[in-house]
Structures are given as structure tokens and as C-alpha cells.
Amino acid sequence: MANRWTNNLTRADVTPKAAFLNRRQIIAGSVGLGAIAAGLPTNAQEALEPNTLEEITSYNNYYEFGTGKSDPAKNAHKLDTTQWSIKVGGMVDNPGDYALDELIGGMTVEERIYRFRCVEAWSMVIPWHGVELADILNRVGVQSGAKYVAFETVVQPENMIGVQRRVLDFPYVEGLRLDEAMNPLTIMATGIYGEPISKQNGAPIRLVVPWKYGFKSIKSIVGITLTDEEPPTSWNTANAREYGFYSNVNPNVDHPRWSQASERVIGGGLFAARQDTLMFNGYEEEVAGLYEGMDLAEFY
């Protein structure tokens, strides 16, 4: 069903479902799908060449399970997602520890077909299913004066080899400005292709912010905090020169160690031509107004 986010990217541009559904990677207890919505805005420039969904689940970053692209697929089966709860606190009217169904139950679950652009200059197209983050924040009640939303990933040292090796300072933390969090493009994803999200992709619930580099879309969330101060974020804390708080996709601002002007589409082959990266990952019409008056060159 087309809606306000529809453009020329359709299911035909996304990795075939049959290649993705490795049943060992699917968890129980998905939220039922409500309204189905295509997920890209009208101003997107082109359709991306499809890649296999096996590649989507086997080529990704989740450092709690190792630093190699295939490590999450090999190791994330150990993630314990039973009895999942999310602690909501800070400047909210209804703080508390919420079971997942309690936090998002009854909300409209939509399909959003989004570009995914990694800061490492590779990209995919992914059909997420989830709820708008704004709906969750409205449910818990955002207090006057709140300016930012902070997120925290689960830490299970016994199950996460990357935590044991102290790849980063865990728990992994991220944050958004409140207006970014309330933007209708920002979702909390619980599934892919109508199935529960796999563990290596951030089960049972993760953030998806399609106009930002992928590391902003924090996985396996157990904490949400509203605050009036900019929260620390893991990669900015680890290396502020290379990773800024905003981390918006910007082909005009290079990473200190590589160009961001183009990207490699996963599945295109080792020698496939790179494609140009779009400003805000193709969502400029929807989100550029959030940064009016800011120097977009100050990404890093």
C-alpha cells in the first residue's frame, strides 16, 4: 500500500525474502503487522540494485559479537531475548521498566523500505517492520524541557564475545535530538520481511534512522532516557575526530580516512561500479529542515 513515504523503491528492489529467512536466526514473539507502508520519500533519486537477504544477515556490524562482518551471524545466536524489558527514565511522565509488549502493544506496525548507509561507505535496502519512535515517546509522556533521547544496548558478557574482549566501552550508547526522534521517518524496528528481526540485526527491537549513518541505529535496546543535555555516544566517545553526534549521511564531508561521496552496494560484486551517495541518504526533503542554520560540514 502506498503512503506518504512511497517512491520508486519497491519490494522488487529489496533482497528476495526466501534468501533471508534462515529459521535459526528468527526469534519468537513478533509483534503482529498492522498497516503496511512503503518506506521511501518521493524525492529519492534511483532504485538500488537488489542484493540477497543472506548477505543482509551475514554482512553487518554488531561489535558485541565480534568485529568481522560475519561475526554477528556466527555468534549472535547466544543473545538471550527472553523476558525482554526496556527501562524508560529521565524527563518522562511515566518512567519504569516496560515489557516489550507493554511498551509497543497496540501500536500500528508498518513496513518501511529504507536505504541503509554505513559510515564505512557500503549500503543496502532493507524492508523493516516497526513502530514510529514518536508513538513510544508519546505513550511514556515527554516532559517539557527534554531535548534529547538517549539509548542503551543490552550487555550480556557471558553471551557476547565482543564484550568479553572489550572492543568498545560497553554498554553501547547512542542518542538523538528530540526533534530527530519525533520525526516520522524514525522507527523502532521489530522485524524484517514480516518476520521477527534476527538477533544479529538487533533483536528484539532496534532504532532505525535512515538519514544517518548506520551506527546511529542502535540495536537490542534495553534503555531509553529523555534528557535536557546531549548524551554521550559510543563511537564519539571512542574517537571524536572520526564520529560526531549527528552523523548525518553527507557525500560532501569525507570521513578522515576515506571518501563519503560514493558507496558500494552489498551484493553488487567486488568490481561493481560504486554509486553516488545522496545527501541525507536520499531523505533530504523530509529532514533537511531539522538542521537549518547549522554548518553541515561539522559532521565529524
pLDDT 10s digits, 58-67: 899 999 999 9
The separation between the first and the last C-alpha atoms of the chain, rounded to the nearest angstrom, is 38
Residue 229 DSSP one-character state: S
Band the pLDDT of 194: cuts 50, 70, 90: confident
3-state class (DSSP) for residue 75: helix
Residue 68 pLDDT greater than 90, yes or no: yes
Distance CA 161, CA 99 (A): 26
Mean pLDDT score, 32-43: 42
What is the percentage of the chain residues whose pLDDT exceeds 70? 82
Residue 140 pLDDT greater than 80, yes or no: yes
Distance CA 203, CA 41 (A): 26
**Mean pLDDT in the chain?**
86
Mean pLDDT score, 219-235: 98
Residue 98 pLDDT greater than 60, yes or no: yes
The dihedral formed by the CA atoms of 288, 181, 251 and 269, expressed in degrees to the nearest 10: -130
Q: Quick check: 14 and 50 in contact, CB under 8 A?
A: yes
* Pairing of the two strands 262-265 and 96-99: unpaired
Look at residue 17 in the predicted model and tell me its pLDDT: 54
Q: Which residues does 244 contact at the CB level (< 8 Å), separation at least 6?
A: 236, 298, 299, 300
The total of other beta-carbon atoms located within 10 Å of residue 27's CB is: 18
Mean pLDDT score, 25-50: 39
Q: Which residues does 23 contact at the CB level (< 8 Å), separation at least 6?
A: none
3-state class (DSSP) for residue 151: strand
Mean pLDDT score, 177-198: 95
Question: Cell digits for 217?
Answer: 541505529
